[in-house]
Structure 1
Amino acid sequence: MKDKTIDYILRATWQAVARMYNEEASKYDASMATGFALLSIDKEGGTPSTSLGPKMGMEATSLTRTLKSMEEKELIIRKKNPEDGRGVLIYLTDFGKEKRELSKNTVLKFNDAVRKSISEEKLQHFIEVADVINELIVEKNIFHNTHAGEVSAEKIDTDENVLEINASS
């Protein structure tokens, strides 16, 4: 992946991971989003529905569909928040807790496979790089500090999804 842009590598890798999780989840009539939601809901105290979207990085409409599907499959129940009558708490059912364990084991299996294939040092570098990328995005230090003409695209090869970028000095 030497000549590929960083965003391409991230996107392609995440799509491969998502496809892998969705293939595994489909064996259990579920999806990656369902598994992620199961892992994001506090298994004992429930979770306010309003905090799930930001916690999962999901838009409200996608989250609503996911929660509706989970409710239909009896993985979750919704109850009024006793501390805030306008809010709703999402609780896992016993069946939801079983599926949560399955999701947790699936994630741990993936982590173990990656850790067995990549040295601890390389994994630490990967985490550091991901942290820096996230920090640049959160702090809006990517496009706000770039002036027109500072970056020039010298070659775009859409067949290979390659974009070589040279920053001018």
Structure 2
Amino acid sequence: MKNKTLDYILRATWQAVSRMYNEEANKYDATMATGFALLSMDREEGTPSTALGPRMGMEATSLTRTLKSMEEKGLIIRKKNPEDGRGVLIYLTDFGREKRELSKNTVLKFNESVRQHVSEEKINNFIEVAEIINELIQNKHIFKSEDGDKNATIQETKK
């Protein structure tokens, strides 16, 4: 792993996690996206559909497809927002709440398994590094050189 770039490690790890969650969700005729959507809907008064995309890191077209599938399966219902006629609120059905609990338990089981094999110190370090990477990306510091050249790119990693 010495010569692998950070982005490669992040991508490969996320693909493995995604594959694992999709395999688990597939047992229940669902997808990882469905599970994450269920976990993102936690309001009794309904979740604004516009809040889901950013919360899940999902593009609007993918979110629309996921919500349509969830509605067809009876996991959610959509209602016009009474305060804003243009907006839509998403509500979990009883079946959706049941599947949300299943998704929550799956995520907790994954987290517990990792915590059994990785020290709390390493987990905290991982979280800190991930937060720094996110902050660098948010503040657009990744492709700036130390002299402020906004067109600079990341140098090839040393082997």
Query: TM-score band (shorter)?
Result: over 0.9
* 1:52-108, Cα deviation, whole Å (9 max, x unpaired): 101111000000000000000000000010111111000000000000000000000
- Residue 152 to residue 48, structure 1, CA distance change in 2 (3 Å): closer
Amino acid at match of 2:33: A
Amino acid at match of 1:14: W
* Gap change, CA 1:125 and 1:79, over 3 Å in 2: same
**Structure 2, gaps ≥5 residues long:** none
User: In the aligned structure 2, how far is the partner of 1:145 from the partner of 1:80?
Assistant: 48
Identity %: 76
| Aligned residue pair count | 156
Q: CA deviation at 1:150?
A: 7.5
The two structures, once aligned, show a CA RMSD in angstroms of: 1.6
Q: Provide the TM-score with structure 1 as the length reference.
A: 0.87
Asked whether the 8 Å contact 2:143–2:152 carries over to 1, the reply is no
Partner of residue 81, structure 2: 81
5 Å-filtered alignment, 1:8-157, equals 8-145=8-145, 147=149, 152-153=155-156
Q: 1:140 to 1:23 in 2, by over 3 A?
A: same
Residue aligning to 1:159 = none
Secondary structure of 2:3's aligned partner: coil
Q: Write the deviation string for residues 133-164 of structure 1: whole angstroms up to 9, x where unpaired.
A: 001000000113364677543xxxxxxxxxx3
Considering fraction of residues, name the structure with more strand. Answer: 1
TM-score (norm 2): 0.93
Which stretches in structure 1 are left out of the alignment for 5+ residues? 154-163
Moved more, 10-19 or 36-45: 36-45
- Verify the 8 A CA contact 1:43 1:97 in the aligned structure 2: no
Which residue of structure 2 lines up, in the alignment, with residue 156 of structure 1? Answer: none
Q: Greater Rg, structure 1 or structure 2? A: 1
